[in-house]
Amino acid sequence: MRPATLGLRFAILAAFAVFFAAPVLWLVLAPTKADHALVTSSPFSFGSFHQLALAWKHLNAFSDHIYRRWIGNSLYYALSATAITLAVGVPAGYGLAFGRFRGRKLILSSTLVVMIIPGAALVLPIFLELNAMHLLGRSLSVILPFAFFPFGVYLAYIYYSTALPPGLLDAARVDGCTEAQAFVRVALPLAKPIVALVFFFSFVADWNNFFLPLTVLADSSQYPIQVGLSDLLSSTPSFNPAQGGGGQSVNIFRPELALATLLAIVPVAIVFLLSQRALVRGLVGGAVKE
């Protein structure tokens, strides 16, 4: 390829890299500066660790340590729901890929339909259902709806139907494996990429969900961090000059808000770091090379 073309390619990629990276870099640096320094100093300068500690002190003190609670709640909701999703969804995908039973097509197509229906559209009816089940305001009212993750089932279905040759299962059966044994000995060991993939999508979706917990939880001490952040936003004068007095009394200004945002994404960032390779391998690679 000609050097000019290569240079142009690189320039385009680099410009997008700035667009993607600059806000992240700003967010990492912002909590190290005092509120006024955010306005006066260069946006990408580093303040001090002292300021960072101070910002954490303010954030932690906000509303009786509620910030740590929100993070804890988020971990609890997202991890429990994802565990259920995996335990239920991976075998279901396998069953749909290799099972032969009446209603298989029906289950598969309703999974597809529900998958295309965005979660938010069903929040209101789910709210009413949970109300009828007397679950509103309890952690189950978040965990159970989160645990239903048709996309995970569909991913497992695609994965098993493309990556696992039926011949392998037939061979296992010929060798005298029962259906359960064939699943445990042949399909589960191959499931690693799909488990990583479903874990990734489910955990991230649950962690970031805002609408459902906002609707079904009553008390702010039960909020996951995403809803908590919006609570925090309304008590800061950063974007809300009318909140000036409020900001003074709770000590939540821009650095604290930036720190709250930054810490809120740490678990997802870790999952992201760990999953990039698995994501590609799981989605487009197969266990069997042609």
Partner 1 sequence: MEAARKRGLHVPRGLPFVLPYLPFLVVFGLAPTAYALDLAFTNAGGGWAWFHNFVRTYNDYRFMPAFKHVLLYTSVWLATLVVLVVGLALLLHGRANRVSSTFRFVFYMPGALAGAAAVLVWLFMLDPVVSPGSFFLRHVLGATLFAQAIAPANLPYIFAMIAFWTGAGGWIVVMYGALNTIPHDLEEAARIDGAGPIAIALRLKLPLMRKWIAYMVILSFATGTQLFVEPQLVNQASLGLVPDTWSANQLAYQLAFRYADFNGAAAIAVDLLVIGLVGAVLIVTRTGLFRTDD
Q: Which of 46, 50, 124, 220 binds partner 1 (CB under 8 A)?
A: 124
Q: First vs last Cα of the chain: how many Å apart?
A: 30
Quick check: 46 binds partner 1 (CB under 8 A)? Answer: no
Residues 6 or more apart whose CB falls under 8 angstroms from that of 179 comprise none
Q: Which of 31, 145, 213, 247 binds partner 1 (CB under 8 A)?
A: 145
Q: How far is the CB of 72 from partner 1 (least distance, A)?
A: 17
Residues 6 or more apart whose CB falls under 8 angstroms from that of 231 comprise 220, 223
Q: How far is the CB of 50 from partner 1 (least distance, A)?
A: 20
Pair 94, 156: CB distance under 8 Å: yes
Quick check: 220 binds partner 1 (CB under 8 A)? Answer: no
Pair 214, 220: CB distance under 8 Å: no
Binding string, residues 162-191; x marks residues near partner 1 by CB under 8 A: ----x------------xx--x--------
Q: How far is the CB of 10 from partner 1 (least distance, A)?
A: 8
Of 282, 157, 148, 277, the C-alpha closest to 202 is: 148
Q: Which of residues 233-252 bind partner 1 (CB under 8 A)?
A: 233-234, 239-242
Q: How far is the CB of 93 from partner 1 (least distance, A)?
A: 9
Q: Which of 63, 91, 188, 190 binds partner 1 (CB under 8 A)?
A: 91
The number of angstroms, rounded, from the C-alpha of 108 to the middle of its chain's C-alpha atoms is 24
Q: Which of 7, 16, 68, 192 binds partner 1 (CB under 8 A)?
A: 16
Of 10, 232, 193, 188, the C-alpha closest to 95 is: 188
